[in-house]
Amino acid sequence: MSDMAEPRTWRSWLRGLQREIPQISPKLAAKRQRQDAILIDVREPHEWRKGSPVGALRISRGQLESRLDKLITDPDVEILLLCENGVRSLFAADSLKKIGYERVYPVWGGYRFWKECGLASETGCLSPVETERYSDQIRLPPIGQAGQLRLKNARVLCVGMGGLGSPAAIYLAAAGVGHLILIDADRVDRSNLQRQIIHAETTLGLEKVDSARQFLLRLNPDIQVTSIHDPLDDTNAEALIDDCDVVLDGCDNYETRYLVSDCCRKLARPHVYGAVQEMWGQVSVFWPSQQQGGCYRCLYPESLQGDAANCNTLGVLGVVPGVIGTLQATETLKILLGLGQPLTNRLLQYDAMTGAFRVSRIQADPECVCSSRK
Ligand SMILES: [Zn+2]
């Protein structure tokens, strides 16, 4: 029976490719890689983090054709493609051959078989400088090289570069969170400096996001910092929150806080909340989709005077936002690393006058917009 008689399905297409495109074993691929072939791991970043052949180029399937065009100038170079079990690499090879690459070979059995053959893998893409910088953190068993890579690949949106955002962003940058997106519409004023420790006399008058960016890149030049000198509002909130892993809420007004809360709920992003006033502060994590807990609106169903953080009118002891912002950074790192129990369903309150921390439960409000009954 000829191939023509076989109905066209994904499987028949795959079988056709298996017949047409010669594949090579992982052992032969490793040998040719030592000669002059280029081995490309076409899986996704979350798969690379668990391990990838030593020395492989890592280009995910969706970017392969466009990236190769820039990377490989010699069309005669031998290209070896590896995926998880040998299917994606076949389709990738088919595509590259159609473009005109002649010597393209998928690796049979993919990375799964590569490991079974005992061939060399590496779990990280940390540079020697990064490995040195984060060595004390990598040594912690629950973090290790894999956890540090998770931080490197993480994106955190920091809303506000004031008293809370300053210490939080500094610790996130120091810990190696790979991409910080800062948004704030204000400029640095001398009256900020008593608590907003990311800014300085030398940056008075600058956009706060620019002043903060300068500080963070001096501290850690290996990370990316994007600064947005705008308010967070209806025009940008969803896109920015959709594009990050965690939102660190260091804002100073209810309107923005409700906006952050609503977008985080809609897009299932963890909302790390902090607020300060005079001599006390509080912190919590709202993550309704994951933890069955409530949202910021459950805690403050409508704008209540006295919640937080208008330091300009109420005043605040400068170190209090330092304590709360640092706790927010801690919760953010825990979420990114999957460590411990985040402060979901709980409100941690700090009273500087007595030196006491108190944790109370937050009940999800069944009447709130976040309730599954709604
Ligand atoms: Zn709610």
Tokens of 224: 């990316």
69-73, 117-121, 146-150, 282-286: segment of lowest average pLDDT: 69-73
pLDDT for the residue numbered 309: 45
| pLDDT at residue 224 in the model | 93
The pLDDT tens digits for 255-272 are 999 999 999 999 989 999
Ligand 1 center to 324 CA (angstroms): 22
Work out the angle between the directed axes of helices 144-152 and 319-337 (0-180°, nearest 10).
110
- Supply the mean pLDDT for the chain: 89
- Sort 170 into a burial class: Cβ within 10 Å, 0-12 / 13-18 / 19+: buried
The pLDDT-based confidence of 291 (bands split at 50, 70, 90) is low
- At residue 45 the predicted structure's pLDDT band, cuts being 50, 70 and 90, is confident
Residue 88 three-state SS: helix
Give the Å distance between the CA of 286 and the centre of ligand 1.
9
Q: 166: CA distance to ligand 1 center in Å?
A: 27
For 292-316, how does the pLDDT look when each residue is reduced to its tens digit (9 = 90+)? 678 999 999 865 644 444 545 689 9
Identify the CA nearest to 298 among candidates 374, 371, 373, 360.
371
Neighbours of ion ligand 1 (CB under 5 A): 294-295, 297-298, 368, 370
- Is residue 80 within 8 A of residue 39, CB to CB? The reply is yes
CA of 262 to the centre of ligand 1 (A): 9
Position 254 pLDDT exceeds 80: yes
Is residue 102 within 8 A of residue 76, CB to CB? The reply is: yes
What's the CA-to-centroid distance between 172 and ligand 1, angstroms? Answer: 27
Q: In the prediction, which pLDDT does 312 show?
A: 56
Residues with catalytic roles: 311
DSSP string of 166-183?
Answer: HHHHHHHHHHT-SEEEEE
Tokens matching residue 154: 């993480």
Question: What are the residues whose beta carbons fall under 8 Å from the beta carbon of 267, sequence distance 6 or more?
Answer: 238, 241, 242
Burial (CB count <10 Å: 0-12, 13-18, 19+), residue 125: middle
Q: Which domains does the chain have, with CATH numbers?
A: 3-122 (3.40.250.10), 129-361 (3.40.50.720)
